[in-house]
Structure 1
Amino acid sequence: MTTTDGTTARTITSGERADLLDTLAKHRFFLRFTTRGLDDEQAARRTTVSRLCLGGLIKHVADVEKGWVDFVLHGPQAMAGLDEESLAKHAATFEMLPGETLAGLLEQYDEVARRTDQVVAELPDLDLSHPLPEAPWFEPGARWSARRVLLHIIAETAQHAGHADIIRESLDGSTTMG
């Protein structure tokens, strides 16, 4: 990714930031790799009792990553609420909807990844923190730093890359990580 001064985000990061971004890039690769050679119908197919499909996992991980980076930049007000509409929108991230294509979802994921990498490279301090929004799954009064958010994005991506590997193996016997 090129910055305004012509360098790349990777060249301006070092130490902890480079390690975090390299780890995230590895897990993004594993997730994306599960979709290699698939058409839209295959990417949308559910192969387990779960509602998950490969295209939906790509869409979900991109949406979650974007949301958490918005949180880093803008605080808890950037995150969706617990109203019925927000929860329905979140649930829809797990599936490919009519008109969505695997190529389009992968392109969106690339855009989200570029933005995340740039934010991590340019953020003045990874200790920048915000209070988490009120939700049953967050400890009341907890704060997360940008570093903690990035670790959460890495964990989320790795977890869903594992799910994607199982779905792909169920689809056609191909494996990603094994």
Structure 2
Amino acid sequence: MIGEFAKDNLHGRLRRDRQALLWKLDGLSEYDVRRPLTATGTNLLGLVKHVSLVEARYFGEVFDRPSPEPLPRWQDSDGSDQWAAEGETRDQIIGFYRRTWERSDATINELPLDAPGHVPWWPEPHLKTNLFAVMTHVLSETVRHAGHADILREGLDGRTGLRAEHEQQIDEDARAAHRAKIEQAARSAAPARNSPD
């Protein structure tokens, strides 16, 4: 009984956070979803591409159910799994992610939580894993990168939230006052010699 509850709970959270990650692209230009927003080049469409490849590999190859679509080599040294090349469209990347969901969901639905898997790219590939561990791992990856996407999106246009239906109207004055309060607390806590001024 607890096994089915755990499986349903993890699966439901994964579905929710997949949607949240995609929502972070809504309403943005091609440039804004692709442009590097950190020193390392992190961008919104790249996060979606990366998470889709992680999910395709973990729910596919690990359980001997490889993707019918060709996948790039695992974590190429150029980081190409984390950004969209000129020839890759937003629709292609999102479409691949959605098709990956269908294949992943089939794996989750068809296998028991203790179904064994093998992760050849782990540092110790002889270690055994199972569907429960993989579901937890993929969920944590998805949540982690959805959090990155939250911060990137907020930096672009101030939009925050888990999903569009939960978004509230942005009160710019209240937001600025709140930020100023936090800045003042930080300045007050810092010794004078470490002040940014």
Q: CA deviation at 1:88?
A: 2.3
Residues 103 and 132 (structure 1), Cα distance of their counterparts in 2 relative to 1, 3 Å cut: closer
After TM superposition, list the pairs within 5 Å mapping 1:48-63 onto structure 2: 48-63=38-53
Indicate whether 1:129 and 2:116 are aligned.
Answer: yes
Amino acid in structure 2 at the alignment position of 1:117: D
Distance of 1:32 and 1:164 partners within structure 2:
9
Residues 58 and 87 (structure 1), Cα distance of their counterparts in 2 relative to 1, 3 Å cut: closer
Q: Deviations over 1:65-95 (max 9, x none)?
A: 00001233219xx7xxxxxx65427710111
Q: Name the counterpart of 1:174.
A: 159
TM-score normalized by the length of structure 1: 0.77
Q: Larger Cα Rg: Structure 1 or Structure 2? A: 2
Q: Name the counterpart of 1:81.
A: none
Distance of 1:74 and 1:112 partners within structure 2:
15
Q: Is the 8 A contact 2:63 2:118 kept in 1?
A: no
Distance of 1:134 and 1:73 partners within structure 2:
13
Q: Name the counterpart of 1:98.
A: 86
Amino acid in structure 2 at the alignment position of 1:169: E
TM-score normalized by the length of structure 2: 0.70
Q: Secondary structure at the match of 2:100?
A: helix
Amino acid in structure 1 at the alignment position of 2:96: Q
Q: Name the counterpart of 1:38.
A: 28
Q: Name the counterpart of 1:158.
A: 143
Q: Deviations over 1:44-64 (max 9, x none)?
A: 011222321111110000001
Q: Is the 8 A contact 2:62 2:119 kept in 1?
A: no
Distance of 1:71 and 1:176 partners within structure 2:
33
Amino acid in structure 2 at the alignment position of 1:69: F
Q: CA deviation at 1:17?
A: 2.5
Q: Name the counterpart of 1:10.
A: none
Q: CA deviation at 1:39?
A: 2.3
Distance of 1:36 and 1:159 partners within structure 2:
19
Q: Which aligned runs of 4 or more in structure 1 are off by greater than 6 angstroms?
A: none
1 or 2 for the larger relative contact order (CA 8 Å, sep ≥6)?
1
Where structure 2 has 5 or more consecutive residues not aligned to the other structure, the ranges are: 67-72, 168-197
Q: Name the counterpart of 1:112.
A: 100
Q: Is the 8 A contact 1:168 1:175 kept in 2?
A: yes
Q: Is the 8 A contact 1:48 1:170 kept in 2?
A: no
Aligned length: 154
Q: CA deviation at 1:118?
A: 1.3
Residues 31 and 145 (structure 1), Cα distance of their counterparts in 2 relative to 1, 3 Å cut: same
Distance of 2:79 and 2:135 partners within structure 1:
22
